[in-house]
A and B are shown apart, each in its own frame.
Chain A
Amino acid sequence: MRTVLKVVDNSGAKKVMCIQALKGKKGARLGDTIIASVKEAMPNGKVKKGKVVYGVVVRAAMQRGRCDGSEVRFDDNAVVLVDKQGQPIGTRVFGPVPHELRQKKHVKILTLAEHIA
């Protein structure tokens, strides 16, 4: 709630603010989907400012435990905008993404990513 995340695809938005975390009482973590409101957008983009969108958290500054016991942490909080079905709106993804997305069935984002951490 109220967390401002960076948008790392080319859907047009620059910053979104989380308004709800789907699935999870304690909040969304790395790999979870959120509902967000676009706060800052590029002038000619697919999404405009003020629009309510779905997003997948691809980078989180909070560490998330992996099944082998290690923990991963990223440098910032970033999100990739998706539609209700989970398909990304944009066509490119910037920066590293975790391979937790594979388990969450966000394969399309993984294929678009330039680096999988």
Chain B
Amino acid sequence: MRLEKCWFCSSTVYPGHGIQFVRNDAKIFRFCRSKCHKNFKMKRNPRKVKWTKAYRRLHGKDMTQDSTFEFERKRNRPERYDRNLAENTLKAIKKIDKIISDRASDHIKNRLKTGKVQRQKEARKQLELGIHLVKAPLALAQDSSLCLPKIKVNVSQAQTEENQPMED
């Protein structure tokens, strides 16, 4: 039994799932479900389809290089059955899975960090400028800690002259 990867979306194909398509040049395409199969028949390029792993890896959304990927390399030589080895491998698989998922989520978190900081800055600025929408002006006048910031707006003479012909 071997767990294959879907050609289109790169998810694992478990036994009993999916379709295997053999092209006449003897290249085998495995698909995890009919969604991937139909996209393939439509001749879509997985590198351009946003929800596939190929797109995400290509555009830096998911991590591409990690030492843990060595564990999932395809090995064609079958190992002689050894009970201890099998037990240890099963334990290791669990641990490695956890490590991979932690590293992947860290990668995504780091990627989204800059956006989060930017949005917080913008929100703070918006609150400062629009405090009059939140607090009544009377409350602001009484409570000097929440005063409106003094906004300086430069009005240039040239601008007003240009506007006049437009209004006619």
Query: Footprint of B on A, CB under 8 Å?
Result: 59, 63, 68-76, 95-96, 98, 114-115, 117
A63 and B16 contacting across the interface, CB-CB below 8 Å:
no
User: What's the A-B contact tally at a CB cutoff of 8 Å?
Assistant: 45
A-contact bits for B4-37, CB 8 A (1 contact / 0 none): 0000000000011111111110101000000000
List A contacts of B21 (CB < 8 A). 72-75
Binding site secondary structure of chain A: loop
Q: In whole Å, how far is A59's beta carbon from the nearest beta carbon of chain B? A: 8
Who on chain B is nearest to A63 by CB? B19
Distance, CA A76 to CA B25, complexed state (A): 12
Distance, CA A115 to CA B28, complexed state (A): 11
Closest 9 CB pairs of A and B: A69-B16, A115-B26, A96-B26, A117-B22, A71-B19, A72-B20, A75-B24, A73-B21, A74-B22
A70 and B18 contacting across the interface, CB-CB below 8 Å:
yes
B26 and A70 contacting across the interface, CB-CB below 8 Å:
no
